[in-house]
C-alpha cells in the first residue's frame, strides 16, 4: 500500500474519531461520577438529525449548537427520571436510545418523505492553514482537518484540566468513588451527578451533530450505526481518562477508516472482515483492559 | 401501613400519568404529521384486527419477541444485563439453516419433516448458546462488562451473516437482497391457524410461559434475586458468580438461537440479512415491561407486536404518519414503566436500608457490584 493511502487512512481516522472523542469526554464525566449513560446512542442520533435541520436553516454553526441543545434536553429528561423518580438508569438509558432512534426516523421521514431527494447542508468550512497543510505527510494529517477535530482536541485538554484542577472535578471524582463520604464532606451528590450527566448529554448531542454537519452534510436513519455504544466501550477501555478515551477512539476510528479505504486494495479478504474489524479489536482491547483493571483491583483489596 | 398505602396511591397516579403522556405524545406526533388522530387510531385498530390474517401477523410478530423476553427472565432477575439476543438470533439462524440443508442433503432431499425440525431447533439452540457463552466467559473470567461485550458481538454476528449470505449459504438465483436458498418444504413450520402465517412457534411461547411460571416459584429463582442484590448471601445459598452468569446467559442464548430457527423456518422460509430485525432489543424491553413475570411478558410481547402492526395500518390509513411512530411509543413506554417500577421498589428500601443512607443512595441491583462490597468489607475489617 502506498504512502498516500496511509496518509488518507490516518487523516480519515482523525475525522472519524472527533465525534467519538466529544461524546466520550462527556461520558467520561458521567462514569467518573459513578453513573452510566446508555442513552448516548439516542442522544447522538437526535443531535445528528437536529444538526442537519438547524444547519439547513441557519448554517453549520447553528447545527452544532442545536445538536448540543437536543442532547442536553434528553439528558435533562434522563436526569429527572433517574435522580428524581429513582428509575433504573440502565433501563432509562435503553429507553432514551429507543426513543431517539425512533423519533429521529419519524421526524426525518416527515421532513424528507420517501422518494424525495435527501436534504444536504453545508459542512463546517475548513480553515486555511496555508503552507502548513502543504507539508508532506504531516500536512494533510494534522493541518488539513475540519476545525471540529481541533475542537475535540481542545475540549480534551479542557476536560482533563477540569477533572484535575477544579472543585467540580474533585467533586465528580469524590461522588464516583464514595458518595456517602462525599456527602458527609458537604459535596452535593445529586447536583454533581446531574451536572456530569448534563455535560455528557450535551457532548453526545454535539458529537452526533459533528457526524452530520461536520463531515457528511446529510442525515439518514440509523446514521450513528452503534457509535454511541462504541463510545461506552471506549470510555470503559480508557478508564474514563481523557487520554485513554482519545486513544481508544483513535484506535476504533483508525480501523474504521482502514476498512473504508483499503477495500479496493488487493489483500483478497472479504469486505465483512474489514467492517467487523473495528468491533472485534474494540472487544479484544476491552478484554485486555478489563483484565488488567481486575488484577489491579484485587491487588489493592488483598495487600498481602 | 399508611406509608405503603400512600406509595400505592402515588403509583396509581404515576401509572395514569404514564398512560396519559403516551396518548398525548402519540397524538402530538400524529398532528405534527398533519393527520387526524382519530383517523390514525382507526388505522391502528384496523391494522391489528380487521382480518384473521392481520391477527395472525400480530401473533407471528409476538413469537420471537416473547421467546427472547421469556428466556431473559433468569438473566435479568440475577442482574446480568445481556443485550446480545440480536447476535444470538443471527448465529442461531445461520446454524439452523446450515443444519437443515446438511441433513436434507445427507438423505438426498427426502428427509422427513420431524427430523428437519429437530435439526433446525437443535442447531439454532447450539448457535445461540455458543454466542452467549463467549460473553459469559469474558464476564466471569476477566469481568468484561457484559452489556458492552454482547453489544459488540452483535456487530460481529451481523458481519458473519453478511459474509455467510455472500458465500457459503448464498443462493445461486438472482435476488434483489442477499439471501439463502429456500428451505425444503418439509422443513417449514406448519401454520397453526389456517389462512394466516401464525405457525406452531406460538405454542412454544405458551409452553415457555408455563415453564417460567412454575420456575418462578422455585428456590433457584429466589437465589437469582438474592444474587442480584446480595451476592455474598447468594454465595452461601450456593449461587456462585460463575454458575449464575453461565447458566442465566446460556438460557437466554438458547432461547434467542431457537428464535433464529423459528424466523427462518416459520416466517421467511429462507435466511435473510434482516433475520433478527430489532427483535433482540424489543425482547429486552418487553421483558422489563412485563416486570419479568411470564404472563406480563406475553401480554407485553403481544402489545409490542400489535403496536408495530397497527403503526403500519396507521401509515396506510393516514398516508402521512410514518410507521416509525411505533418505535417512539415503545421507548416512551419503556421509560414510563421503569418509573412505575421504581415506586414499587421503594417500600423495601424504606424498611431495610442496607447501605449507609445518602440523600440519593442508589438502590437495587445496579448499585454495589460484588467487588465494591468486598472492598467495603475489607476496609471495615
Q: What is the pLDDT of residue A301?
A: 53
Chain B within 8 Å of A293 (Cβ-Cβ)? Answer: yes
Distance (Å, whole) CA B306 – CA B49: 9
Q: What is the mean pLDDT of residues B96-104?
A: 95
Rounded distance between C-alpha atoms, residue B138 and residue B339, angstroms: 32
Please answer yes or no on whether B341 and A87 come within 8 Å at the CB atom: yes
How far is it, in rounded angstroms, from Cα B374 to Cα B371? 5
Q: Which domains does chain A have, with CATH numbers?
A: 3-301 (1.10.3470)
Q: How far is A144 from chain B (nearest CA, A)?
A: 32
CB contact under 8 A, A87 and B338: yes
pTM of the shown model? 0.88
**A38 lies within 8 A of chain B by CB:** yes
Which residues 8-37 of chain A have a CB within 8 Å of chain B?
none
Q: For chain A, first and last CA: distance in Å?
A: 52
How many Cα atoms occupy the beta-carbon half-sphere of B217 within 13 Å?
A: 4
Cell of B339: 418509573
pLDDT digits (tens, 9 = 90+) for A212-237: 998 889 999 989 988 999 999 999 88
Q: Is B113 on the interface with A (CB under 8 A)?
A: no
**Shortest Cα distance from B276 to chain A (angstroms)?**
16
Contact B358 A183 (CB under 8 A): yes
Mean confidence (pLDDT) of chain B: 86
Contact B159 A273 (CB under 8 A): yes
Question: How does pLDDT run across A26-70, given as a tens digit for each residue?
Answer: 999 999 999 999 999 999 999 999 999 999 999 999 999 999 999
Q: By C-alpha distance, which of A42, A40, A37 is closest to A101?
A: A42
A188's CB contacts (< 8 A; 6+ apart) are: A171
Burial class (CB in 10 A: 0-12, 13-18, 19+), B168: exposed
Residue A298, min C-alpha distance to chain B (Å): 9
Cβ atoms B325, B30 nearer than 8 A: yes
N residues, chain B: 381
* Residue A109, pLDDT above cutoff 60: yes
Give mean pLDDT, residues A133-146. 77
Cβ distance of A99 and B335 shorter than 8 Å: yes
Least confident of A248-252, B27-31, B109-113, B293-297: B109-113
> Could you tell me how far CA B196 lies from the centroid of its own chain?
24
Chain A residues with CB under 8 Å of B145 CB are: 236, 286, 290
Q: How far apart are CA A235 and CA A216, in angstroms?
A: 25
Q: What is the ipTM of this complex?
A: 0.88
Residues of A in Cβ contact (< 8 Å) with B152: 229, 233, 279-280, 282-283, 286
Q: How far is B162 from chain A (nearest CA, A)?
A: 7
- Residues B349-370, mean pLDDT to the nearest whole number: 40
A95 CB within 8 Å of a chain B CB: yes
Amino acid at each position: 500500500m502506498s504512502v498516500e493511502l496511509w496518509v488518507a487512512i490516518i487523516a480519515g481516522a482523525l475525522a472519524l474519531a472527533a465525534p467519538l472523542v466529544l461524546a466520550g469526554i462527556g461520558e467520561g464525566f458521567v462514569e467518573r461520577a459513578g453513573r452510566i449513560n446508555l442513552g448516548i446512542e439516542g442522544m447522538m442520533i437526535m443531535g445528528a438529525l437536529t444538526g442537519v435541520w438547524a444547519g439547513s436553516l441557519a448554517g453549520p454553526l447553528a447545527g452544532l449548537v442545536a445538536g448540543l441543545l437536543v442532547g442536553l434536553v434528553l439528558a435533562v429528561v434522563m436526569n429527572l427520571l433517574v435522580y428524581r423518580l429513582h428509575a433504573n438508569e440502565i433501563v432509562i438509558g435503553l429507553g432514551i436510545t429507543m426513543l431517539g432512534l425512533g423519533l429521529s426516523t419519524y421526524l426525518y421521514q416527515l421532513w424528507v418523505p420517501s422518494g424525495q431527494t435527501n436534504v444536504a447542508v453545508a459542512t463546517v468550512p475548513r480553515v486555511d492553514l496555508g503552507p502548513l497543510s502543504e507539508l508532506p505527510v504531516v500536512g494533510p494529517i494534522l493541518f488539513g482537518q475540519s476545525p471540529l477535530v481541533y475542537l475535540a482536541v481542545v475540549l480534551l485538554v479542557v476536560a482533563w484540566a477540569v477533572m484535575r484542577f477544579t472543585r467540580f472535578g474533585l467533586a465528580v471524582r469524590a461522588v464516583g468513588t464514595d458518595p456517602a463520604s462525599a456527602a458527609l464532606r458537604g459535596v452535593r451528590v445529586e447536583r454533581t451527578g446531574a451536572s456530569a450527566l448534563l455535560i455528557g448529554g450535551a457532548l453526545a448531542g454535539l458529537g452526533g451533530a459533528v457526524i452530520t454537519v461536520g463531515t457528511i452534510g446529510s442525515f439518514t436513519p440509523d446514521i450513528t450505526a452503534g457509535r454511541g455504544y462504541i463510545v461506552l466501550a471506549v470510555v470503559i477501555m480508557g478508564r474514563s481518562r481523557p487520554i485513554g478515551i482519545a486513544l481508544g477512539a483513535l484506535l476504533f476510528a483508525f480501523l474504521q477508516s482502514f476498512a473504508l479505504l483499503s477495500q479496493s486494495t488487493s489483500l483478497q479478504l472479504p469486505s465483512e472482515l474489514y467492517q467487523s474489524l473495528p468491533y472485534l479489536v474494540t472487544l479484544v482491547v476491552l478484554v485486555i483492559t478489563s483484565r488488567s483493571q481486575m488484577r489491579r483491583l484485587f491487588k489493592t483489596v488483598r495487600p498481602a | 401501613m399508611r406509608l405503603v398505602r400512600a406509595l400505592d396511591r402515588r403509583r396509581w397516579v404515576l401509572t395514569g400519568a404514564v398512560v396519559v403522556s403516551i396518548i398525548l405524545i402519540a397524538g402530538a406526533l400524529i398532528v405534527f404529521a398533519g393527520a387526524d388522530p382519530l383517523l390514525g387510531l382507526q388505522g391502528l385498530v384496523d391494522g391489528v384486527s380487521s382480518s384473521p390474517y392481520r391477527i395472525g401477523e400480530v401473533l407471528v410478530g409476538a413469537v420471537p419477541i416473547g421467546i427472547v423476553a421469556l428466556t431473559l427472565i433468569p438473566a435479568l432477575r440475577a442482574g446480568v444485563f445481556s443485550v446480545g439476543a440480536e447476535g444470538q438470533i443471527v448465529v442461531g439462524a445461520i446454524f439452523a439453516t446450515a443444519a437443515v440443508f446438511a441433513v436434507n442433503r445427507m438423505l438426498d432431499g427426502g428427509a422427513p419433516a420431524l427430523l428437519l425440525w429437530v435439526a433446525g431447533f437443535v442447531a439454532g439452540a447450539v448457535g445461540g448458546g455458543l454466542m452467549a457463552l463467549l460473553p459469559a466467559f469474558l464476564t466471569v473470567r476477566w469481568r468484561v462488562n457484559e452489556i458492552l461485550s454482547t453489544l459488540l458481538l452483535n456487530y460481529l454476528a451481523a458481519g458473519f451473516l453478511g459474509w455467510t449470505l455472500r458465500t457459503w449459504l448464498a443462493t445461486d438465483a438472482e435476488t434483489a437482497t442477499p439471501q439463502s436458498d429456500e428451505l425444503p418444504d418439509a422443513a417449514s413450520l406448519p401454520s397453526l391457524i389456517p389462512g394466516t402465517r401464525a405457525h406452531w412457534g406460538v405454542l412454544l411461547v405458551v409452553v415457555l410461559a408455563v415453564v417460567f411460571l412454575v420456575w418462578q416459584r422455585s428456590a433457584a429463582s429466589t437465589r437469582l434475586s438474592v444474587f442480584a442484590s446480595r451476592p455474598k448471601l447468594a454465595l452461601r445459598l450456593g449461587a456462585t458468580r460463575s454458575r449464575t452468569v453461565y447458566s442465566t446467559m446460556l438460557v437466554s442464548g438458547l432461547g434467542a438461537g431457537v428464535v433464529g430457527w423459528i424466523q427462518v423456518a416459520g416466517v421467511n422460509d429462507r435466511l435473510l440479512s434482516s433475520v433478527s430485525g430489532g427483535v433482540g432489543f424489543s425482547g429486552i424491553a418487553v421483558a422489563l415491561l412485563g416486570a419479568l413475570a411470564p404472563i406480563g411478558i406475553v401480554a407485553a410481547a403481544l402489545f409490542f407486536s400489535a403496536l408495530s402492526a397497527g403503526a403500519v395500518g396507521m401509515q396506510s390509513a393516514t398516508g402521512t404518519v410514518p410507521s416509525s411512530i411505533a418505535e417512539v411509543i415503545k421507548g416512551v413506554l419503556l421509560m414510563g414503566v421503569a418509573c412505575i417500577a421504581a415506586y414499587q421498589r421503594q417500600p423495601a428500601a424504606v424498611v431495610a436500608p442496607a447501605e449507609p443512607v445518602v440523600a440519593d443512595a442508589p438502590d437495587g441491583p445496579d448499585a454495589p457490584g460484588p467487588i465494591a462490597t468486598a472492598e467495603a468489607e475489607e476496609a471495615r475489617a
